[in-house]
Amino acid sequence: MPYFRSAICLSFQVLLISALCLALLGCMENSVIDTLPSDNQRENVNALLLSATTNPGQKSLEHAKADITKTFGSVNRILLINYASLPNRRDAYAKRMKREFAQIGPGYTVKSLHAIPADQRLAAVRDTEGFYVSGGNTFLLLRELYGGDLLVAIRERVLQGAPYVGSSAGSNIAGQFIGTTNDFPITDIPTRRALGLMAANFNPHHPDQIAEEVEFGFRQYKIGEYVAHNQDEVVIGVTNPGMLRIQGNMLSLRGEGGTAYISYRGEKQTVSSLADGDISRAVESLRSR
Ligand code: ASP
């Protein structure tokens, strides 16, 4: 009889612990970033958001090489996050990115998060010196990062000063919300809230007004609708040659021939890399109208 009693007691304890673990996992998977970094935390943000990995007419990452090198500075150990790619393409993509980083500079060691065992991924994020988050489908990327609380851990590292370089989908998730991605929602996501490294949203591959009049009109219409409905949000659309640099509170446009189209409520401003590229000033002037 005492044997049965202790067996029941043990099973009850196992059940209780499992329930607690499940509840904890549930919370972790749903950790949502709903505040912007404090001024102190923001001072450490060092990010480069590419609109495109390949600028038409150039080799992959060629247009961004100098800015990537500058952003990473003395950092060599880079964690590649390629969850925007479909799962069966991630191995090949990681191989390609490792080759491309070898072209950017000889000192880089690139590890791909997808190839690290699931129970070690959080530690890999906390331990890395820098991030490269590649493009593909933004919904897929965000969904994978919500699993296992990776999104919150990445943000923590970036707010501690780890450089973050994103491209396209990887740039979308650096903003507050992914609402201005060009992608189809091929999967569900807990929320469209993302890393919130800046008080704005990104739109990659933004058409250029002069070169692509019709496409430009379509995109501006969609962004116009977005900012009319989301009155507190700023949207920064960047053309393929362009890159958005975040250094603390400073937002600037990099990339030869790049243009940024900034929208807030019903107002718009254009910033060109041929002029001073000062996006912060444009955002401030829109917000103060
Ligand atoms: N599909 C794009 C990319 O990562 C993202 C976007 O257009 O919003 O290349």
Residue 133 CA, ligand 1 centroid: distance in Å: 12
Residue 31 confidence (pLDDT):
80
Q: Is 183 labeled as catalytic in the residue annotation?
A: yes
Q: Is the CB of 241 under 6 A from ligand 1?
A: no
Residue 127 lies in a domain: yes
pLDDT computed for residue 28 by the predictor: 44
Region 111-116 average pLDDT? 98
Report if residue 122 sits inside a domain: yes
283 domain-assigned: no
- How would you classify the pairing of strands 201-203 and 250-254? unpaired
For residue range 151-196, what is the model confidence (pLDDT) as tens digits?
999 999 999 999 999 999 999 999 999 999 999 999 999 999 999 9
Which is it for the CA torsion 6, 7, 13, 17, positive or negative? positive
pLDDT at residue 274 in the model:
85
The better pLDDT of the pair 16, 34 is held by 34
Q: Is it the case that residue 71 has pLDDT exceeding 50?
A: yes
The verdict on residue 143 lying in a domain is: yes
Does the pLDDT of residue 86 top 70, yes or no? yes
- 140, with CB counted inside 10 A (0-12, 13-18, 19+), is buried
Report residue 136's pLDDT band, with 50, 70 and 90 as the boundaries: very high
Residue 246 one-letter amino acid: I
Interval 267-285: pLDDT, tens: 999 999 888 899 999 999 9
- 288 CA to centre of ligand 1 in angstroms: 31
Q: What is the distance in A from the centroid of ligand 1 to the CA of 68? A: 19
- The pLDDT score that the predictor gives to residue 238 is 98
Does residue 112 form part of some domain? yes
Asked if the structure places residue 22 within a domain, the reply is no
What's the whole-model pTM score? 0.90
Cα 267 to ligand 1 centroid, rounded to whole Å: 25
Q: What is the pLDDT of residue 226?
A: 98
Ligand 1 touching residue 183 (CB < 6 A): yes
Give the number of domains in the chain: 1
Residue pair 237/206 in contact by the 8 Å Cβ criterion: yes
* Residue 280 confidence (pLDDT): 97
Reading the block at residue 97, the tokens are: 């990115």
**Ligand 1 pocket residue status of 205, Cβ below 6 Å:** yes
Atom of ligand 1 nearest to the CA of 138: 5
Query: Is residue 207 a part of any domain in this protein?
Result: no
Ligand 1: which of 49, 133, 137, 181 to mutate, judged by most atoms within 8 Å of the beta carbon? 181
34 falls within a domain? no
pLDDT single digits (tens) 199-246: 999 999 999 998 999 999 999 999 999 999 999 999 999 999 999 999
DSSP string, 50-77: ES-SS-TTS-TTGGGHHHHHHHHTT--E
For the domain that residue 81 is a member of, what is the CATH number? 3.40.50.880
pLDDT digits (tens, 9 = 90+) for 89-106: 999 999 999 999 999 988
State the distance from the centre of ligand 1 to the C-alpha of 238, rounded, in angstroms.
12
3-state SS track over 194-216 = CCCCCCCEEECCCCCCCCCHHHH
Q: How far apart are CA 167 and CA 182, in angstroms?
A: 13
Which residue of the set 134, 168, 263, 273 is catalytic?
A: 168
Q: What is the mean pLDDT of residues 132-155?
A: 96
Predicted confidence at residue 13, as pLDDT, reads 57
Nearest Cα to 181, choosing from 87, 257, 90, 84? 84
Report the nearest atom of ligand 1 relative to the CA of 53: 9
Domain limits for position 108: 43-202+243-257
Residue of 60, 205, 272, 278 with catalytic role: 205
Q: How confident is the model at residue 5 (pLDDT cuts 50, 70, 90)?
A: low
Catalytic residue flag (residue 205)? yes
